[in-house]
Amino acid sequence: MFHPALWKLIRLQWRGGFRQLGRSLRTWRGLFFVGFIVVMALYGLGSLYIASRIGSQSPQVSDALIKMQNDFLPLGLFAFTFYTLVFSTGEATVYFTASEAAFLFPAPITRKQLLAYLLLKSLLGIAGISLFFGVFMSPQFAMAIPRWLAVVMTLSFLQLLTMNVSFLRQILEEKLSLVIRRLLGLIFTILVFVAVAQTMQSVNGNDFDAYLKFFQQSTAGKLMLAPFHVFVRALTAPDWQTFFPYAAILFSVDLALLLLAFRLDALSLEAALAISEKMTERLKMIQSKGAWQAFESKRDSSIAQRKIAQLPYWGGIGPVLWQRMTTTFRSSTRLLWVLVGAVAFAAGLVFMIARSGPDSARTVVAPFVGMGAMAYMSFLICLTLQNEIERVGYLKSLPIRPISVVIGDMIGFPILLSVIQSLFIVVLACCFTRIAPWLLCGALLTLPLNLLLFGIDKLVFYIYPTRMAKGAPGDFQNSGKQMIFMTLKMLMLGAAAFFVIMAALPGALALQSPVVAVACAGFVLVIECGALVPLLMIAYDRFDPSTTIVQ
Amino acid sequence: MIRVEGYEKSYRNTVAVRGLTFDVAAGSVLGVVGPNGAGKTTTMRALAGIIPPSQGRLSVEGFDIVDDPIAAKSRLAFIPDEPQLFDVLTVWEHLEFTASVYRMTNFSDEAERLLEKFELTEKRNTIAQELSRGMRQKVAICCAYLHNPVAIIFDEPLTGLDPRGIRTLKSSIRERAAAGAAVMVSSHLLDLIDDLCSHLLILHRGECLFQGTIAEAKSRMETAGTDTSLEDIFFQFTEPGTEVVSDATKE
């Protein structure tokens, strides 16, 4: 059933991974990078474990955790099943790497053997990921193994369900598949609608828990969620006796789905090759141009309609800035949606805090929490933007002075981000008039803050030009490097923020004047951004695209 | 050895390849040329059993690639244009794995010989991630040759190879053909086709414009002369308005 070459491949890849790790550890530099990531991982997992252990000592925390799982897990699983059955193509579940496709597809290996290989690899991955949820997040150490098994079976269910849906879509006529999916979508939608209607009719007030409870206990809710309660029972079983019957059901469901996948025997090499090529292309794109451009859905000439007027020359800044802004505008629709999502998230946070009580402190805290959330989202977005090594090579070939290139390249995205953030803050100021002057003054700081954030990111990149690693097995060295650069950026940002806060404090606390506080903070920010420019210029001048750190 | 009869591949409303029929006999080298999107790679992938035909039969040494894929694939080697190796495996491990795929028990001597021929002996313990594009291509070729296939399909084989690598590959293709293998080579490098191939297949928009020996192609040119190049032939055939002269239309 399982081709011996496929065992060999798995074994060789594991061996290669360990060999890679061993090679990393042979140099002091490699040892440092690997050591750093191990320490960070131990710190992260250790704190999770300790937090769950401490939590389990308190019956209240433990009960709250179980209640949360009971409340949300069935809903989450239902949402996933709904999405999979109605919308998903299941592409990700039949993913072969480019090298697997090149070696295995033209080889004398049957489709079922390839499917078995795919499933085995996936199971090994799931078993590893499940350790995280099963062991480190387990409230009871004694129940870590059954919890781990339950997580493995739950994730396997999701994987197998998606794979079978993908196979069925290939087997069925396109029209029939569409009719079935629409029918299922209609049934699910009616069930959700009925459950929501029943809940809204029966529950009054603002208690979210009451709404949730009634939704789950309504007839339609029970019908939708009942199959998924089995997963929760297995995951939260307090002892082995309780675990066994639910685990047996889960195992049977997974086994049935597994047999169905083999029975359908619909692994199409053509479709798998197309998926593999698409993913490989996407990975290359992520490496060279970043995740946002890689996940851009629209790649035809229609994006040329999104135009930005040509800017004046401005000593060379204009063309560089125009090119950067046009590229962002045309190839980062999803990024713009994420920004809109960030605004919605921050607004939701503000709304929830402001609504949770009449306390006037909340009306002060709420808008600042919203601003903080926006700033944090900007930070996360900044980290996901890939600096393009090839683009710097191109910019260096232009007859434009380094200072103009550095400024033009740095200010494009921060301007866009600052406009969105400022609009959000202005809306907040309209809603929270009591602290409107503070908020409006704060809006003035968005541009220098974003410039500082992106400037630091660019500076670290020019000094240590890194490219996102391909993520070969056992290659912890690259992850360690990325993590160290991230820490470096955060330290630099922290130091810069410290001086800004120190400058703003006297105005804010002693004089209670937003204008003075913002003026002082703004002054320090402008000095910091100004100081960054010559540093960026020197780093850009010395930048050598041929010596990228991560290949 | 390689036989394609009435092969057709269509995707929804698009016909990628239409009614293609040709043979590659043992010992001959067929050059497949055509502009981008002509259907060369689609045809080669179909022969390698990766994409199913919409119509027609494709077989290797009499074994149908759809009905008996294992038997057909056991006799075939397909070298794609982009050498995709396993990053963390060494050169030798690639050969070891390939031997296991084709259930070869004694592969070491042949593997050593191939490594020497393609100047990879020193790199046998180097992982693929550290190889240059050309070396990766050579490893892919060694893996393809290891099980002594009777049918070999190359898709743009020279990309990334240095002059010595090109010479080695060309001589190896001639050797394989002389030993009785049927070889198909797709390339945009018309000089390579002229130099290496005994037969020619010109595809354009999924249709066969010409098939036959290179000498026949040259003689069919209106302004045929002894020094007619394959480039002239190619442009003559692929110019708009050229009549399709595949076997199907001849019938």
Of B50, B97, B140, Cβ closest to residue A8: B97
Q: Any chain B CB within 8 A of the CB of A101?
A: yes
Inter-residue contact A469 to A475 (CB < 8 Å): yes
* A29 Cβ contact list (under 8 Å, min separation 6): none
Inter-residue contact A8 to A451 (CB < 8 Å): no
Residue B3, phi-psi category: left (phi > 0), alpha (psi -120 to 50), beta (remainder): beta
Average pLDDT over residues A248-276: 89
Q: Any chain A CB within 8 A of the CB of B83?
A: yes
Of B51, B73, B97, Cβ closest to residue A9: B97
Q: Any chain A CB within 8 A of the CB of B80?
A: yes
How far is residue B80's CA from residue B58's CA, in Å, rounded to a whole number? Answer: 18
Tell which A residues from 110 to 149 touch B, by Cβ distance under 8 Å.
110
Q: Tell me whether residues A108 and B74 touch, CB distance under 8 A.
A: yes
Of B50, B88, B129, Cβ closest to residue A269: B50
pLDDT tens readout for residues B201-211: 999 988 888 89
Residue of A nearest to B51 (CA): A270
Who wins on pLDDT, A8 or A35? A8
End-to-end CA distance of chain B: 23
Q: Residue A387: pLDDT above 70?
A: no
Among the ranges A127-136, A199-208, A396-405, which has the highest mean pLDDT value? A396-405
Inter-residue contact B3 to B40 (CB < 8 Å): no
Who wins on pLDDT, A152 or A199? A152
pLDDT tens readout for residues B137-191: 999 999 999 999 999 999 988 888 889 889 999 999 999 999 999 999 999 988 8
Of A12, A17, A106, Cβ closest to residue B48: A106
Q: Quick one: pLDDT at residue B217?
A: 84
Least confident of A3-7, A435-439, A531-535, B118-122: A435-439
Q: Tell me whether residues B89 and A16 touch, CB distance under 8 A.
A: yes
Q: Residue A548: pLDDT above 70?
A: no
How far is residue A411's CA from residue A455's CA, in Å, rounded to a whole number? Answer: 9
Average pLDDT over residues A370-399: 73
Alpha carbons within 13 A on the beta-carbon side of A393: 10
Q: How far is B96 from chain A (nearest CA, A)?
A: 9
What φ, ψ does residue A11 adopt, rounded to 5°? -65, -45
Q: Tell me whether residues B51 and A474 touch, CB distance under 8 A.
A: no
Q: Quick one: pLDDT at residue B7?
A: 93
In sequence order, the β-bridge partners of residue A526 are: none
Of A104, A269, A475, Cβ closest to residue B51: A269
Q: Quick one: pLDDT at residue A551?
A: 40
Q: Any chain B CB within 8 A of the CB of A109?
A: yes
Please give the interface size between A and B, counted as residue pairs whose CB atoms are below 8 Å apart.
96
Q: Quick one: pLDDT at residue B2?
A: 93
Inter-residue contact A257 to A84 (CB < 8 Å): no
How far is residue A435's CA from residue A313's CA, in Å, rounded to a whole number? Answer: 41
Q: Any chain B CB within 8 A of the CB of A108?
A: yes
Q: Quick one: pLDDT at residue A29?
A: 78
Q: Residue A388: pLDDT above 80?
A: no
How far is residue B116's CA from residue B168's CA, in Å, rounded to a whole number? Answer: 11
Q: Residue A503: pLDDT above 90?
A: no
State the maximum Cα–Cα separation within chain A, in Å, rounded to a whole number: 80
Q: Residue A138: pLDDT above 70?
A: no
Least confident of A66-70, A539-543, B243-247: B243-247
Inter-residue contact B193 to B200 (CB < 8 Å): yes
Q: Any chain A CB within 8 A of the CB of B93?
A: yes
- Token pair 């387990």 is at which residue? A138
What confidence category does residue B248 fall into, taking pLDDT thresholds of 50, 70 and 90? very low
Amino acid at residue number A215: F
Q: Any chain A CB within 8 A of the CB of B70?
A: yes
Task: Please report residues of B whose CB lies closer than 8 A to that of A8.
Answer: 96-97, 100
Q: Tell me whether residues B84 and A101 touch, CB distance under 8 A.
A: yes
In sequence order, the β-bridge partners of residue B30 are: B184, B199
Q: Any chain B CB within 8 A of the CB of A9?
A: yes
Among the ranges A174-183, A446-455, B86-95, which has the highest mean pLDDT value? B86-95
Helix spans in A87-172 (H): 98-104, 111-131, 144-171
Q: Tell me whether residues B88 and A470 touch, CB distance under 8 A.
A: no
Query: In this structure, is the dihedral angle defined by the CA atoms of residues A479, A481, A484 and A485, taken in order, positive or negative?
Result: negative
How far is residue A60's CA from residue A54's CA, in Å, rounded to a whole number? Answer: 11
How far is residue A173's CA from residue A529's CA, in Å, rounded to a whole number? Answer: 60
* A302 Cβ contact list (under 8 Å, min separation 6): none
Of A110, A270, A472, Cβ closest to residue B88: A472
- Strands B199-204, B29-33: pairing is parallel
Of B45, B71, B97, Cβ closest to residue A12: B97
Average pLDDT over residues A72-84: 87
How far is residue B137's CA from residue B134's CA, in Å, rounded to a whole number? Answer: 5
What confidence category does residue A550 fall into, taking pLDDT thresholds of 50, 70 and 90? very low
Which residue in A287, A463, A273 sits closest to A390, CA to CA?
Answer: A287
Q: Which tokens hold the place of A425?
A: 């803050």
Inter-residue contact B52 to B125 (CB < 8 Å): no
Q: Residue A45: pLDDT above 50?
A: yes
Share of chain B above pLDDT 90, in %: 60
How far is residue A65's CA from residue A71's CA, in Å, rounded to a whole number? Answer: 10
What φ, ψ does residue B126 adopt, rounded to 5°? -90, 140
How far is residue A452's CA from residue A514's CA, in Å, rounded to a whole number? Answer: 21
End-to-end CA distance of chain A: 38
pLDDT tens readout for residues A459-472: 888 888 776 655 55
Least confident of A23-27, A253-257, A380-384: A380-384
Q: Could you state, in order of their start, the residue ranges of all structural domains in chain A?
A: 71-281, 305-547
Q: What is the DSSP string of A386-402?
A: PP-HHHHHHHHTSSS-H
What confidence category does residue A300 fall into, taking pLDDT thresholds of 50, 70 and 90? low
Q: Tell me whether residues A16 and B45 touch, CB distance under 8 A.
A: no
Q: Quick one: pLDDT at residue B76?
A: 94
Inter-residue contact B67 to B22 (CB < 8 Å): no
Inter-residue contact A362 to A356 (CB < 8 Å): yes
Helix (H) and strand (E) counts in chain A: 21, 0
Q: Residue B250: pLDDT above 60?
A: no
pLDDT tens readout for residues A410-426: 888 888 888 888 888 88
How far is residue A52's CA from residue A433's CA, in Å, rounded to a whole number? Answer: 42
Helix (H, G, I), strand (E, B) or coil at A295: coil
How far is residue B235's CA from residue B242's CA, in Å, rounded to a whole number? Answer: 10
Of B52, B85, B101, Cβ closest to residue A107: B101
Alpha carbons within 13 A on the beta-carbon side of A81: 16
Q: How far is A179 from chain B (nearest CA, A)?
A: 19
Amino acid at residue number B148: N
Least confident of A62-66, B83-87, B241-245: B241-245
Residue of A nearest to B92 (CA): A12
Q: Tell me whether residues A12 and B86 touch, CB distance under 8 A.
A: yes
In sequence order, the β-bridge partners of residue B60 are: B2, B63
Q: What's chain A's Rg over C-alpha atoms?
A: 27
pLDDT tens readout for residues A306-358: 778 888 888 888 888 888 888 777 776 777 777 777 777 777 777 766 666 55
Q: How far is B84 from chain A (nearest CA, A)?
A: 5
- Strands B29-33, B182-186: pairing is parallel
Q: How far is A470 from chain B (nearest CA, A)?
A: 9
Query: In this structure, is the dihedral angle defined by the CA atoms of residues A449, A453, A458 and A459, taken in order, positive or negative?
Result: positive
Here the ipTM equals: 0.85
Q: Quick one: pLDDT at residue B251?
A: 35
Who wins on pLDDT, B15 or A69? B15
Q: Any chain B CB within 8 A of the CB of A107?
A: yes
| CA distances from residue B147 to A190, B74, B109, B142, B150 in whole angstroms, order as listed | 59, 8, 12, 10, 9
Say what the alpha-carbon torsion angle A424, A319, A530, A438 is, to the nearest 10 degrees. -10
Q: What is the mean pLDDT of chain A?
A: 81
Helix (H, G, I), strand (E, B) or coil at B187: coil
Report the CATH architecture of B2-75+149-250: 3-Layer(aba) Sandwich (3.40)
* B32 Cβ contact list (under 8 Å, min separation 6): B40, B43, B44, B184, B185, B186, B187, B201, B203
Q: Quick one: pLDDT at residue A468?
A: 62
Who wins on pLDDT, A284 or A96? A96
Which of A6, A11, A12, A112 best probes binding to B when mutated, by most B CB atoms within 10 angstroms?
A: A12
Q: Any chain B CB within 8 A of the CB of A473?
A: yes
CB atoms within 10 A of CB B191: 11
Q: Quick one: pLDDT at residue B246?
A: 45
Helix (H, G, I), strand (E, B) or coil at B39: coil
Share of chain A above pLDDT 70, in %: 86
Which residue in A60, A66, A91 sits closest to A165, CA to CA?
Answer: A91
- Token pair 């069919």 is at which residue? B220
Of A16, A102, A105, Cβ closest to residue B127: A16
Q: How far is B155 from chain A (nearest CA, A)?
A: 12
Inter-residue contact B60 to B48 (CB < 8 Å): no
What confidence category does residue A371 fall into, taking pLDDT thresholds of 50, 70 and 90? confident
How far is residue B9's CA from residue B66's CA, in Å, rounded to a whole number? Answer: 14
How far is residue A520's CA from residue A478's CA, in Å, rounded to a whole number? Answer: 40
Of A19, A106, A472, Cβ closest to residue B49: A106
Q: Any chain A CB within 8 A of the CB of B79?
A: no
Q: Tell me whether residues A106 and B73 touch, CB distance under 8 A.
A: yes
CB atoms within 10 A of CB A542: 9
Least confident of A503-517, A537-551, B127-141: A537-551
Q: How far is A263 from chain B (nearest CA, A)?
A: 18
Least confident of A131-135, A491-495, B64-68, B97-101: A131-135
Task: Please report residues of A whose CB lies closer than 8 A to that of B82.
Answer: 98, 102
